[in-house]
Amino acid sequence: MLGPLGLEPVSADALGLPEPEETETTFIGNAALKARAAALASGLSALADDSGLEVFAIGGDPGVYSARWAGPEKDFSVAMRRVWEKLSATGDDRSARFVCALALAQPDGSVETFEGEVRGAIVWPPRGEKGFGYDPIFQPTGFTRTFGEMTHEEKLPLTHRARAFEKLVASLK
């Protein structure tokens, strides 16, 4: 997504940087924490993200714990079932959103943040084998298919990550 700017990102792993523990309670907080740690350790500008699914009827869960709901094996079928079980006990509201927070940190410790979202609804049973994570249970507003049923090319421009990157790219131009 940074290609139009002629930027070639290098991963923190490729630079041998440690991954800090995500201790913040917001997507913006965790993204900023990770970006600041990478910028300070490398002496370079650093970009980090944090993203996840928020289901409104269950208090925004799984939220910043979206990956952790999948357990140590990263089994998202477990996480999706957990969302559905909690949601089923609440009533008819199935509304949800995917959120992506990007943080761009400088070696001096300054950080700029950008957030994108896509709204939709939780469906059950899961539909589609494409994508990852919660994609098979998330149907974006205005569409009849879940992210799990869409090709990468169909899904990408609709995503929370694409919307956050649009804001980042606009700020860099």
With 0-12 / 13-18 / 19 or more C-beta atoms within 10 angstroms meaning exposed / middle / buried, residue 43 is exposed
Q: How would you write the pLDDT of the chain (173 residues) with one tens digit per residue? A: 777 777 788 889 999 998 899 999 999 999 999 999 999 999 999 999 999 999 999 999 999 999 999 999 999 999 999 999 999 999 899 999 999 999 999 999 999 999 999 999 999 999 999 989 999 999 999 999 999 999 999 999 999 999 999 999 888 87
Q: Tell me which residue has tokens 């990550």.
A: 161
pTM of the model: 0.92
- Full strand arrangement of the beta sheet holding 46-55: 46-55, 95-105, 111-122, 138-140
CATH of the domain at 138: 3.90.950.10
Q: Known catalytic residues? A: 50
Query: How many structural domains comprise the chain?
Result: 1
The residue range of the domain holding 12 is 3-172
